[in-house]
Structure 1
Amino acid sequence: MNRHLLTTGVLAMAVFATGAIAAVSPEEAAKLGATLTPLGAEMAGNADGSIPAWTGGLPKNAGAVDSKGFLANPFSGESPLFVISAQNVDQYRDRLTPGQYAMFKRYPETYRIPVYPTHRSASVPPNIAAAAKINAISTKLVKSGNGLEDFKEAYPFPIPKNGLEVIWNHITRYRGGSMRRFVTQATPQVNGAYTMVYFQEEFSYRGNLRDYDANTLSNVLFYYKQRVTAPSRLAGNVMLVHETLDQVKEPRLAWIYNAGQRRVRRAPQVSYDGPGTASDGLQTSDNFDMYNGSPDRYDWELVGKKEIYIPYNSYQLDSPRLKYSDILKAGHINQDLSRYELHRVWHVTATLKPGERHVYRKRDFYIDEDTWQAAEIDHYDGRGNLWRVSEAHSQYYYNVQVPWFTLEAIYDLQAGRYLAMGMKNEEKQGYDFTFRASESDFTPAALRLAGVR
C-alpha cells in the first residue's frame, strides 16, 4: 500500500439502496471547526510539517485587487523548493498521479512540475461554513445517490463516508453564489498553433437571484449561461443550463440558441459524454468544471486520502501581464508559469456501471480536502488505457472568500493535443462576483436576446 494512503478500511459504497442514506451524528459533526476545518479537512498539518496546519486561510486583504478584478500574488516572493522533471520524476512518483507521471513520459523534454511551499489559503464566508455544519447532520443521498435531500447552500457532506458524497461536495461547492466572467479557450494543435474562443459566462445559485422567493419550491440547484463572443463563426451561440438538485426527479435541463439558425432548441446532448462547446473533440460535456452533472452512470469508490503535488495558488498563471501566447505551448501549457504544492486529496475512483455508456470507462479523481475542488482527474478509455489527464490550476479569491479555478487543462495523451479553458489574462475584466440576475434572465425565451451579435 502507498505510504501516503492516509485512510484505511473499506470506504466504498458503490450501490445504494432505495431511499435516503443517513447523515452523520451530531457528535461527529462537532469535529467541524475543532479537529476538522469548517469544511471537513484535517485541521492539523502532516507529520513532517510539509503540509502546515489550517489557520483560517488568507485574510480578505491579503493583496491588492486591480480595477479589472485581478488579484495580486501574495506569494510572489517565493521560489520553487525543487522542480520535478523527466530526469528525476521517479524520485517523486508516489506523490504524483498516474496521469501526471504519464505527462513526463509523453513530453520528457518540456514537461516539468515546479513545487513551492504549501499554503492552505482557502476559506469560505461564515454563513457557508455554518450551512456545511447543518448539512453534515441533515443532508442525505436519495434514490441511488443521484440526488440530495435536506440540503443547504453548499458542501452537503463535509464528513464524507463514501465516494459519491465526495463527488457531491465538488458538484455543489461554494463558488461565490453568483458570478459573471469573460474567459477564453484554446485547443492547440500538435505544433502549438491555436485559435482563441471567447466566452461570456453567467452563473447563479437560485438563492442569489434578485427575485428569489424562499417560499417557492424548486429543484434547481443553479443556473448557468454561456455565450460565445468570438470567433465570428461561433459568435452569438448561447447555451443555458438549469442544474437540478434531485436528478432522478428531474434531469438537467439545457437549451442552445444557434445564431445562424436563430432557433432555441432543447439540448439533451449537454450532459455526460456529449461534446464540449468548441472543444474540437477534446472535451466531453461532463469534463467542464473538471466534472459536472449527474453521477448516475458510474459506481463510486472512496479509495482514501493521499498527499500529492497539485496545482495551487496559481496567481502567477492568472497575471494580466501575461499574453495567451505566453501560456499556450505545444503539447501542454507553459509549466514554468505553474505552481504546485503538496496537499492532501480525497482519491475517488469512478467505474462505468454495467449496461451504461460513456467514452470514459474509468476515472480517478483527486479532490483537494480544503476546497472540495477536483485538482486532478485521470480518464481511461474503453480498453482500460489512460487516455486523458485533467488538471485544475486553482486560486483563492481572497477578497471575496471564493476558491475557484484559474485554468482548466485536459491533455489527450493519445492525440498529443490539449484544451485549455478559463484564461482571462488579456480580458478587460476578471470575475465579477457582484453580478446579480433575475430568474427571467435564465429562461429559454431570454436566449435569443443573449445571442445578439
Structure 2
Amino acid sequence: MHHYIHLLVVTAGAALAAQAVAAPSADEIRQLGTTLTPLGGEKAGSKDGTIPQWEGGICTPPAGYTPRRGRVGGGPYVDPYANDKPVLRITAANLGQYQDRIDAGTRELFKRYPKTYAMEVYPTRRSACFPNWVYENTRDRAGKPRLVGTAPGITGAHAQIPFPIPKNGYEVMWNMVLRYELPSFQFAFEAGLMDTSGTLTRASFQVADAQNLYWNNAVASLPEDKPYKAVISRSLEPASQAGLASLRSSFLRQDLHDDLAWSYVPGQRRVRRAPEFAYDTVSTTSGGLLIFDEIAGWDGKMDKYDFKLIGKKEMYIPYNAYRTLAAPLDQVMVKDHENPAYMRWELHRVWVVEGTLKPGERHIQQKKVFLVDEDSWNAPVYYGVDHQGQVNHLMHLPAIQAYDVPGVQTKAFILYDLSRGIYGYQTKPLGRPDQYGEIAVDRFPPNHFTPDALAGSGIR
C-alpha cells in the first residue's frame, strides 16, 4: 500500500490558526536549490527510481521549434518527448493494483466507463524550468510573505513563489494561485461540450488579454489596494455570443477586497458590474459546466472553505501534454470521456489539499480536493464532492513546459460533470491560424483593464 510522504496535517479553523504557523527557518531556506529545487520540490528522485531526480528541466527550445508568431514565442510547440512509449496502461481490469496513485475523481471514470476509459502512463519527465530570477526571488524573499485575515489574503509577497516550504493548506493554495506566469500576455481559447449521446458541440471561441503584475519583476512591490491581476475576454463564436465581453480582476489582500467583475452585452450596449461571477455561479461560455471558482482549478476568495494540507503523495497526473494540445477538439473529445490516446499521464509527487465547506456557508460542493505539482505549483487534477458525498465535478488540467518562457503552463482543462454524465474541454490549441497558445506582450495601455475599455472591446 502506497503511503503519504512527509505527512503534514494542519487544521485551519474559522479563526485561521494557520496564519500563526512560523515562517520557514534559515536552515529550511538553505535547502532551496540544494536538497530542494529552487521552488521547493524534492530534488531527489523516488526510492524506486520511477520519479527521477530533478536536473533543471527544459530551459531552452528544442531543435525544430518555429513558433507561428515568430520571436514572441507561443505555439506550435515541439514535443521533446515524442519518442516516449507508455510504460503502463491502466484499465478497469488492473485498476486495483494502482488505485492508490489515482485520485478519487478519476477512479470514478474507470467505474462508469470500464470498457473504454484507460490511462496511458509514460516515463516521468521533470521538465519544469523557470527563469533564474524567479528562483532567486523565491529563495531571497522566503519567509517574508504572510497570510492575513480570515479570507485569507496575502502580504509581503512579490515576484516569487510565496511559500516554497508550505506549512498548511492555505499556503499551498496561494502558491497555486500565484504560480509563475507572464506579467502581460494574450491568448485564444475554444471550448467544446460532449453530451451523453456522443455529440460534440463547439461551445465558444474567445480571445483574451491578461495582466499579472505580481510577476512584474521590474517593480519592487505592488499597492495592496489595487488589483494585481486582470483578464479581459471577448467572445467571437458562436454567433449568438459574438461581442460578449467580460473583465475580471483580483486582489492579493482578499481579506480586504472582493474580486471585481464586469460584463458587456452587445444588445444592451452597456457595461454592468457582475458580482455573480464568483463562487458556484455557472459560466455560460463554458457550455454551462464550469463554475467560476473552478477556473484554472481554483479562482477567487478562499473564505468559504477550510483548506487542510493532507500531505505529499506520489500520484498519476497529466503532464507534458504536448500531443493533447496539438490535437483538434474532435480528436481529444470522444463519447463519455477524453480520448486516452491523447492524454499523457506521469507519476509525480504532489501536495494534496482538501477544502471543506465552512459551517453556515453555501456552495454546491461540500469538499474540493487539489493535487498540486511540487515542481511547478500547478494543479493538474482537481475534483469537487457534493453534499451527498459524491464526486460531481472532475477537472484534468494538462500542462506543458513552455520552454520559450520558460515555465510550466496549464493551457487546457477537461471538466466532467459526473452528475449529468457530460464533459467539456477548454483549450488554447494550435489548429487554426488565430490560435497560438499564449504570447508575451511588452505592456498594455494604463487604462486597458477598465470598464470603459471593456465597452470598446466588446462592440461588434
TM norm structure 1: 0.94
Compared CA separation, residues 239 and 37, structure 1 to 2 (3 A): same
Compared CA separation, residues 246 and 80, structure 1 to 2 (3 A): same
Compared CA separation, residues 129 and 330, structure 1 to 2 (3 A): same
- Equivalent residue for 1:326? 331
Kindly state the Cα deviation for residue 107 of structure 1 after the two structures are TM-superposed: 1.2
Q: Secondary structure at the match of 2:66?
A: coil
Give the conservation status (yes or no) of the 8 Å contact 2:222–2:228. Answer: no
Give the conservation status (yes or no) of the 8 Å contact 1:135–1:157. Answer: no
- Equivalent residue for 1:163? 169
- Equivalent residue for 1:64? 64
Q: Secondary structure at the match of 2:47?
A: coil
Q: How many residues align?
A: 450
Give the conservation status (yes or no) of the 8 Å contact 2:325–2:427. Answer: no
What per-residue deviation string (whole Å, max 9, x for no partner) do you get for residues 363-391 of structure 1? Answer: 11111111111111121111221212111
Residue 179 of structure 1 pairs with residue 211 of structure 2 = no
Residue 220 of structure 1 pairs with residue 238 of structure 2 = no
Compared CA separation, residues 189 and 9, structure 1 to 2 (3 A): closer
Compared CA separation, residues 285 and 187, structure 1 to 2 (3 A): same
1:234 maps to a residue whose letter is Q
Give the conservation status (yes or no) of the 8 Å contact 1:19–1:144. Answer: no
- Equivalent residue for 1:47? 47
2-structure distance, mates of 1:99, 1:201: 30
User: Which shifted more, 372-381 or 270-279?
Assistant: 270-279
1-structure distance, mates of 2:252, 2:5: 31
1:39 maps to a residue whose letter is L
Q: CA RMSD, aligned part only?
A: 2.1
Give the conservation status (yes or no) of the 8 Å contact 1:211–1:439. Answer: no
Compared CA separation, residues 253 and 154, structure 1 to 2 (3 A): farther
- Equivalent residue for 1:294? 301
1:12 maps to a residue whose letter is T
Residue 443 of structure 1 pairs with residue 450 of structure 2 = yes
Task: Could you list the structure 1 runs, at least 4 aligned residues long, displaced by more than 3 angstroms after superposition.
Answer: 9-15, 17-22, 207-219
2-structure distance, mates of 1:345, 1:210: 27
Kindly state the Cα deviation for residue 207 of structure 1 after the two structures are TM-superposed: 5.7
2:32 maps to a residue whose letter is L
What per-residue deviation string (whole Å, max 9, x for no partner) do you get for residues 181-224 of structure 1? Answer: 11101121112223321010111112678998968664322111
Residue 119 of structure 1 pairs with residue 125 of structure 2 = yes
Give the conservation status (yes or no) of the 8 Å contact 2:11–2:18. Answer: no
- Ranges in structure 2 where 5+ consecutive residues have no aligned partner: 69-74
Q: Secondary structure at the match of 2:171?
A: helix
Give the conservation status (yes or no) of the 8 Å contact 1:44–1:53. Answer: yes
Give the conservation status (yes or no) of the 8 Å contact 1:154–1:169. Answer: no
What per-residue deviation string (whole Å, max 9, x for no partner) do you get for residues 267-313 of structure 1? Answer: 11111111124233311001111111111110011111110110000
Q: Secondary structure at the match of 2:286?
A: coil
Give the conservation status (yes or no) of the 8 Å contact 1:13–1:302. Answer: no
Compared CA separation, residues 19 and 77, structure 1 to 2 (3 A): closer
Give the conservation status (yes or no) of the 8 Å contact 2:19–2:146. Answer: no
Compared CA separation, residues 116 and 19, structure 1 to 2 (3 A): closer
The counterpart of 1:307, out of the listed 304, 307, 314, is: 314
Residue 274 of structure 1 pairs with residue 281 of structure 2 = yes
- Equivalent residue for 2:72? none
1-structure distance, mates of 2:396, 2:388: 22
2:132 maps to a residue whose letter is P
What per-residue deviation string (whole Å, max 9, x for no partner) do you get for residues 1-30 of structure 1? Answer: x53310235333344259776422232211
1:13 maps to a residue whose letter is A
Residue 132 of structure 1 pairs with residue 109 of structure 2 = no
Identity of matched residues, %: 35
Residue 24 of structure 1 pairs with residue 24 of structure 2 = yes
1:188 maps to a residue whose letter is M
2-structure distance, mates of 1:208, 1:426: 29
Compared CA separation, residues 210 and 55, structure 1 to 2 (3 A): closer
1:88 maps to a residue whose letter is N
2-structure distance, mates of 1:448, 1:227: 11
Kindly state the Cα deviation for residue 318 of structure 1 after the two structures are TM-superposed: 1.6
- Equivalent residue for 1:6? 5
Kindly state the Cα deviation for residue 324 of structure 1 after the two structures are TM-superposed: 2.0
- Ranges in structure 1 where 5+ consecutive residues have no aligned partner: none
Q: Secondary structure at the match of 2:81?
A: coil
Q: Secondary structure at the match of 2:136?
A: helix
The counterpart of 2:254, out of the listed 243, 247, 255, is: 247
Residue 204 of structure 1 pairs with residue 203 of structure 2 = no
